[in-house]
Structure 1
Amino acid sequence: MEAYEKIHRLHELIETRTVADLPGPYKVGVDLGTADVVLVVTDETGNPVAGSMRWASVVKDGLVVDFRGAMVIVEELKAEVEELMGVTLEKGATAIPPGTVGRNAMACGHVIAGAGLEPVCQVDEPVAAAEALGITHGIVVDIGGGTTGIAVLRNGELVFTADEPTGGTHVSLVLAGAYKISFEEAELLKRDPAQHRKIMPVILPVVEKMATVVKNMLIGYEEFSDYPVYVVGGTAYLQGFETEFGKAFGRKVHVPPHPLLVTPLGIAMFG
């Protein structure tokens, strides 16, 4: 199954709450995002089997700020998927923004352990996205709620990674200020595809800032100038984002289908 086909398939499984008829052993990945928590199950070769997600605010700027809330959500997602599949999920992988260290890095593992999943590994978020996209040579930009991380791969090896505190949360803050609505209302506005064309001019400075942040990360690395660039994360779902980000970045970028699900799929593939 090709990378984009896998992403489409995962989206379909989550939307329809169904299970792919694929044999085990299974791999499990949990993405603790700033705006959502996603649990994905794949077969041994990385084909999607099942998944579930929940909008949540248990993480801020890549750090778990509501440990109990995060654990309860993962428990619920785990139970939902187990019921769908008719199996018990025992182990799982997690991911963190590049550069996260110490107890902050350990927190994600503790969350899934508390939810009944033995942590097997922890990967950088953009590296997980690269795995899901099958990229061995290129740049992956993962725009999360609070952070934007990049991973540069050359011949299948990670040669550079970086992370900066800007992301989808800043988009919502700008919308809340512009329309004089609450942050929660701004989040809902941002998720409504019917509103994307209207809000893009409002949030364009944030999109341009994200592109500039990534561009600055790569200063001094001219050898990466011809690498293809892929952008994932919920913010990349906004209509017009791919074009505007590319303009500000100064290079063509690629946004895969359902960019919110790319990193969670990659995490499961590492599981």
Structure 2
Amino acid sequence: MSIVDNKLQAFGKLVRKGTVVPASDRAPGPLKVGVDLGTANLVLAVTDAQNNPVAGATFRSTVVRDGIVVDYIGAVHAVRKMKADLEQRLGQPLQQAATAIPPGIRPGNAKAIGNVVEAADLHLVEIVDEPTAAARLLGVKDGAVVDVGGGTTGISVLKNGEVIAVFDEATGGTHMTLVLAGAKKLLFEDAEIEKLDPRNERDVFALVRPVVDKMSTIVARFLANHPDVKTIYVVGGACSFTEFEAVMAQHTGRRVIKPVEPLLVTPLGIAMFDNGGRQ
């Protein structure tokens, strides 16, 4: 397992168990914070000064839709709650954070996401696009990062460590849930529960496969202008299906890599954009 996968696995355990890394086991220096306001999941990631995971929290919510804050008060309350919970576990305040947006989002919507972070009593130090945050954690210098979230599929193309192209399409995990709900005549909330149950994965994936085909076609079409991209790194909660990367590889004709804990890649990468209070 790679160093990045080990880091993600450790972060996943911290989030699920509600535990923190003891101060004695952290790299010296200020803590760094990343806030990921996703369509289906809000995630707050905390790392030490050397970008090792220290603590994290998730919140299932619909306060953001396709990169747009649709419930500002709800979003602020959710981030404040996660922040307060983590501060209690850590025994110290969290004072600043970086956050992220889907690529191509309008400036006004980006400002609203930043305002949520500020209103939750965190000084905003950086707003980065989501695939670029994922790329930083994964150490991608050349290739494409595809962030498949609840509401959008974002793509960043990197060359020599620089982002040279970005694209975003409004399709993601929410669209999978809508297809599942329609096919099985379920309420959206019930379909979401069924989709997230790993025991149902095989049957669910068979029904939502057309959405994955669409996502993969979008990626293939965009990357047609970037023939030098040989590898695609896919992240985000909606790509968690076992067969997801095989379908994307089939449509794009390129190598597809999915790290462990794909939902947690972007928030941990966002935290790396927090300068930890350094000027």
TM-score range, shorter chain: over 0.9
* One-letter amino acid matched to 2:10: R
1:38-77 superposed matches below 5 A: 38-77=43-82
Question: 1:246 is matched with which residue?
Answer: 249
Indicate the SS of the match to 2:228. helix
If the length of structure 2 is used for normalisation, what is the TM-score?
0.94
Structure 1 unaligned runs (5+)? none
Say if 2:101 is the partner of 1:96. Answer: yes
Aligned partner of 1:3 in structure 2 is 4
- Verify the 8 A CA contact 1:197 1:240 in the aligned structure 2: no
- The 2-side partners of 1:16 and 1:129 are apart by 23
In 2: Cα distance, 1:220 partner to 1:114 partner? 40
Q: Find the counterpart in structure 1 of residue 273 from structure 2.
A: 270
Q: Name the residue aligned to 1:233.
A: 236
Deviation at 1:251, TM superposition (A): 2.3
Does residue 144 of the first structure (1) align with residue 145 of the second (2)?
no
Question: Does residue 259 of the first structure (1) align with residue 262 of the second (2)?
Answer: yes
**1:245 to partner: Cα distance:** 2.3
Amino acid at match of 1:66: D
Contact 1:142 1:148 in 2 (8 A): yes
After TM superposition, where is structure 1 displaced by more than 4 Å over at least 4 residues in a row?
Answer: none
**Structure 2 unaligned blocks of 5 or more:** 275-279
Amino acid at match of 1:246: A
Confirm or deny that 1:200 pairs with 2:205: yes
CA–CA distance in structure 1, aligned partners of residues 255 and 227 of structure 2? 16
SS in 2 for 1:222: coil
Which of the numbers 218, 221, 230 marks the counterpart of 2:223?
218
2:130 aligned residue: 125
Output the CA distance in 1 between the equivalents of 2:204 and 2:144: 28
In the alignment, the residues of structure 1 paired with residue 195 and residue 209 of structure 2 have an alpha-carbon distance, to the nearest angstrom, of 13
TM-aligned CA deviation for residue 6 of structure 1: 1.1
* Alpha-carbon offset, residue 61 of structure 1: 1.1
2:247 aligned partner, one-letter code: E
CA distance in 1, matches of 2:178, 2:108: 28
Task: Provide closer, same or farther for how the CA distance between residues 246 and 223 of structure 1 changes in structure 2, counting only shifts above 3 A.
Answer: closer
- 1:108 pairs with 2:113: yes
Measured in 2, the distance between the counterparts of 1:231 and 1:221 equals: 17
Aligned twin of 1:28: 33
Distance 2:138 2:81 in 1: 28
CA RMSD of aligned residues (A): 1.2
2:126 counterpart SS class: strand
Tell me, in whole angstroms, the C-alpha distance in 2 between the residues paired with 1:239 and 1:178.
Answer: 21
Report sequence identity in percent.
Answer: 50
Is contact 1:193-1:239 (8 Å) kept? no
Q: 1:178 maps to what in 2?
A: 183
SS at match of 2:29: coil
TM-score normalised to structure 1 length: 0.96
In structure 2, distance between residues paired with 1:95 and 1:102: 13
**SS in structure 1 at match of 2:158:** strand
Partners of 1:24 and 1:73 in 2: how far apart? 27
